[in-house]
Amino acid sequence: MDYIENFLAYLANERRYSQHTITSYSNDLNQFCVYLSNECELENITLAEPKHLRQWVVSLRGEKINVVSINRKISALRSFYKFLCKNEIVKSNPASRLSNIKAPKKLPEFVPQDKMDTLLDSDTMFPDTDDGRRDRLMIELFYATGIRESELINIRCGDIDLMSKTIKVVGKGNKARIVPLLDEVCQMIRPFMGMAEQYLFTTKKGRKMYARLVYRIINKYLVTTNAVSHNSPHVLRHSFATGMLNNGADINAIKELLGHANLSATQIYTHVTYEKLNKVYKQAHPRA
């Protein structure tokens, strides 16, 4: 277990991984330890061989675990054993030839622009209270910038420049980027501004906002749109990107705004647009 704890500390302190990823990797590696103990009679994770890793993956597939979750567990194993090799705790990496499972590509869900307009322009949806104003700002900020949930949670007041109408966010790999803000969003932010080191969004007790609470807030409002099956903060990121593309934004600009490392991650939104056009074509063409 000390090996796992050291690995997680390395991810947090040196690689600057998000807390969400660190928690997921911790759960994955501890689950693998349980499997090794129960099924392979191995009490030390450093003694695992390639066959043990492959057997675990096969067992996960047999349990019908989501392919995305299995691939994350595989990534956790690869990163963990690479760390052990680097620190000369194991001589060879048993996960070096462990490949991801090919998953069917799913198009991202998004809320159509008209439904987002109805939600955000409503006079009754957001109560005139501190919580109501906070909730609206949160949704407006997600939809206006396309930032990730973890990026929103970590925004400090000092990251916001209302004069230049920009916000600095820190994304995956601890990479910072500057994102423009709409005038209306700047006006909404102004009452929430405090000391530079204070977080923009906090709980009622003044503590840093956490992911589960953000999800509950976003879910509460998005469910009223009846537009998607998963009413998560990430849906607003998809809605931002799809809306930008549908309104003529250059895909490379969208890539930079989203903080994608590769254009291939952004190009999935072109497929969303194509699906929409294809649907309209089939509904409207007289010979369809």
Residues belonging to the active site? 148, 172, 234, 237, 260, 269
Residues 6 or more apart in contact with residue 80 via CB below 8 angstroms: 3, 4, 7, 25, 29, 95
Do residues 245 and 269 lie in contact, with contact meaning Cβ atoms separated by under 8 Å? Answer: yes
* Angle subtended by helix axes 50-62 and 19-40, to nearest 10: 100
Structure tokens at 11: 């991810």
Q: Tell me the residue ranges of DSSP E strands in 149-230.
A: 160-161, 166-170, 176-180
CA distance to 84, 88, 137, 176, per residue, from 22 (Å): 17, 22, 28, 20
Amino acid at 139: I
CB atoms within 10 A of CB 218: 21
Residue with tokens 């923009």: 200
